[in-house]
A and B are shown apart, each in its own frame.
Chain A
């Protein structure tokens, strides 16, 4: 027995060592980004490079707002994120509709929704642009937001979760005279909190990171999101790596903070979706 615990102790030490080694390897890009973002312009090109900045400065972060319009990009990104939460509500409503009502064409419409998941983005990309162009929505905020609102996978997950809510509960509420929308907002949403948590985080991340659509649709700098602004920065200040790293850190760090607070919900969410 004693040898068994000893073996498992060295084994555990080995596992932790491997995890730490791999973890450092995976984090190098982030650590390097943060360290370089605090270096003055001349130090960032120094050979050999300094691991911790000799003369730390926050000048690069200030420059994001003075030399570039990062305040505008941040505002636009927040608008995109807020509207993507409206999309989340639409997806939840659709998931509820498919899960809890019997109506004509339910199966057929649901299969159509599922079918859209299989289409590669490249197929719909050009037609969506042409459709938005015909609607006069290119180079507008609406054009950036609309195509991403409804997400088939999200509808699917909401439906999966909501089928587990007992019908009796809804019937009881109806007998008490509650309206259908009252039931959804006051009864269903509180019950479905866990799935809303997962979807909420994923929606936030997707909205914050969205880049291809804003890049295609936005021509005016006043419509740029953070990622489009960052790629502009990369083009304009190709050799100012310190400024580039500050811009990247400005995009990445909020996501990392939010994620580290809510990471347990994401893991639970995958367990919940029944992928086993």
Chain B
């Protein structure tokens, strides 16, 4: 009897969370895989018999879809510029914050973290106003140094860069905290030994601090890269992919196909291509890391 009770309890503890995850994470993957081979749309939602299997048609169509190709290009644009920027700025700020322990440093830690916990719609509202061509603060400040009005969100390339600035601003916080936690884990004795040997500040930075941050840097790089491959919220709330699809990302393309045009099958196929891209990039990074540690 006691044995039976012991066998039942663990399942009772894990059941609520595991059932919810199964229902809203595991089963959906299978559903997504199945519908990505069908032409399911709004009609199919009402009447399942109207859905038919079309094999790899969706995947073939995607690679001839000019908007999808553009969204891949834009996503790489975001990743290549945004990811290094986020890592460098958050690492620099973490190094500055790690310099002291007085209240000033604690206060500024909170200040730099604030953007990352700010609601994305509020961010869109505030930055939409800042970026406004006529009434925005940015163009006003630039007009003081006689720079012409910049169309922050109206020209495709500038709009992409505007979104990157916003996303870097929002992305610093969490990575800075991870770097800070890692910096605080470095034993003081390393620095003391280096000081005794007469090492300069820069030598300490490049030969002690940065090498010891390797694991944290790897972690931040992997998670940031995965996050930026799914770049979605910023173009969704700021530009809705425009102007002329200039800011559309793969994730936004999937959302629009799925929820604006109700092409569920097509969108699901797009999401698997994104998934594959993420896996390839992540595996590639782990390979690089392995090579790095072997040396």
Tell me the A residues contacting B by CB distance below 8 Å. Answer: 11-12, 15-16, 18-20, 22-23, 26-30, 32-33, 36, 44-45, 47-49, 87, 90-91, 93-94, 96-98, 101-103, 106, 109, 112-113, 116, 119-131, 133, 146-147, 149-150, 152, 155, 180, 184, 205, 208-209, 211-212, 216, 226-228, 230-231, 233-234, 241, 244-245, 247-248, 251-252, 255-256, 259-260, 263-264, 266-267, 270-271, 275-276
Q: Which 10 pairs between the two chains have the least Cβ-Cβ distance?
A: A97-B13, A127-B28, A101-B10, A127-B31, A94-B17, A150-B20, A124-B28, A97-B14, A116-B25, A248-B122
A244-B119 CB under 8 A given contacts A15-B96, A19-B105, A98-B14: no
Asked whether, in the complex, the Cβ of B114 is within 8 Å of the Cβ of A256, the reply is yes
A234-B184 CB under 8 A given contacts A30-B114, A119-B25, A149-B20: no
A91-B17 CB under 8 A given contacts A123-B271, A205-B117, A234-B128: yes
Q: Which residues on B sit within 8 Å (CB–CB) of A259?
A: 110, 113-114, 117
Nearest residue (CB) in A for B262 is A126
B150 contacts the other chain (CB 8 A): no
Asked whether, in the complex, the Cβ of B112 is within 8 Å of the Cβ of A93, the reply is no
A152-B32 CB under 8 A given contacts A119-B275, A126-B267, A230-B125: no
Q: Which residues on B sit within 8 Å (CB–CB) of A146?
A: 20, 24
Asked whether, in the complex, the Cβ of B126 is within 8 Å of the Cβ of A128, the reply is no
A126-B169 CB under 8 A given contacts A19-B108, A94-B18, A230-B125: no
Interface secondary structure of A, over-half rule: helix
Q: Which residues on A sit within 8 Å (CB–CB) of B272?
A: 123
Asked whether, in the complex, the Cβ of B126 is within 8 Å of the Cβ of A19, the reply is no
The A/B interface has a contact count, at CB < 8 Å, of 271
In addition to A15-B100, A126-B259, A263-B109, 12 A-B residue pairs with Cβ atoms within 8 Å of each other are A16-B100, A90-B17, A120-B274, A122-B230, A131-B31, A150-B18, A205-B117, A211-B119, A247-B122, A251-B121, A267-B181, A276-B215
Between A and B, 26 residue pairs with Cβ closer than 8 Å are A15-B100, A16-B104, A27-B114, A29-B127, A29-B130, A32-B137, A97-B10, A119-B25, A120-B230, A122-B230, A122-B251, A123-B28, A124-B29, A126-B258, A127-B35, A129-B259, A131-B24, A150-B20, A150-B21, A231-B237, A252-B122, A255-B119, A266-B113, A267-B177, A275-B216, A276-B216
Q: Could you tell me the distance in whole angstroms from the C-beta of A199 to the nearest C-beta in chain B?
A: 13
Asked whether, in the complex, the Cβ of B35 is within 8 Å of the Cβ of A33, the reply is no
B111 contacts the other chain (CB 8 A): yes
B118 contacts the other chain (CB 8 A): yes
Q: Which residues on B sit within 8 Å (CB–CB) of A212?
A: 233
Q: Could you tell me the distance in whole angstroms from the C-beta of B282 to the nearest C-beta in chain A?
A: 8
A103-B31 CB under 8 A given contacts A211-B120, A245-B126: no
Asked whether, in the complex, the Cβ of B14 is within 8 Å of the Cβ of A94, the reply is yes
Asked whether, in the complex, the Cβ of B7 is within 8 Å of the Cβ of A103, the reply is yes
Nearest residue (CB) in A for B31 is A127
Q: Could you tell me the distance in whole angstroms from the C-beta of B280 to the nearest C-beta in chain A?
A: 13
Within 8 A of A (CB), among B233-277: 233, 237, 250-251, 254-255, 258-259, 264, 267-268, 270-272, 274-275
Q: Which residues on A sit within 8 Å (CB–CB) of B110?
A: 259-260, 263
Asked whether, in the complex, the Cβ of B109 is within 8 Å of the Cβ of A275, the reply is no
B206 contacts the other chain (CB 8 A): no
B82 contacts the other chain (CB 8 A): no
A15-B99 CB under 8 A given contacts A119-B25, A126-B258, A255-B117: yes
Q: Which residues on A sit within 8 Å (CB–CB) of B124?
A: 231, 234
